[in-house]
Structure 1
Amino acid sequence: MKLTVIGLAVGLVLGVTAAWGGFGAMAIVALMGALGALVGRFLDGQLDLSAFGAGTRDRGPR
């Protein structure tokens, strides 16, 4: 099983646990599921976050 699927499942379980009921539960579960999927994709090596830190390193001296 890919880590993305495991991350999604963990995020959904955490979301359900954190938001045991109410209308806001749907939004919290969706947010936690998306966060879990992103973490899983990062751990699988399918998500490249190097672009966020490259802005300051690519600049030469002024």
Structure 2
Amino acid sequence: MSMAAIGMIAGMALGFAGYFGGFGAFLLVAALGAVGFVAGRFLEGDWEVGDFFRTRGDRRR
């Protein structure tokens, strides 16, 4: 199992632990799952922080 999947599962588990109501809980689970997924990708080395802070000129190359 990849680190991204493990991170996503951990985020969802935290969301379910805080489950105390309707649509807000759904958004909490989705947000924590996404954060866990992104953290897992960073830990695997698939993404780097600099990938998100490049200028338009750097992306065209």
- TM-score under structure 2 length normalisation: 0.75
- Distance in 2 between residues matched to 1:52 and 1:40, nearest whole Å: 16
- SS of residue matched to 1:25: helix
**Partner Cα separation in structure 2 for residue 53 and residue 34 of structure 1:** 19
Q: Percent identity?
A: 40
Cα offsets for 1:12-54 (capped at 9, x unmatched): 0001112333221111100000000000000010111025677
Unaligned runs of 5+ in 2: 56-61
Which residue number corresponds to residue 14 of structure 2?
A: 14
TM-score normalised per structure 1? 0.74
Corresponding residue for residue 48 of structure 1: 48
Runs ≥4 residues deviating over 3 A:
51-55
Structure 1 alignment gaps of length 5 or more: 56-62
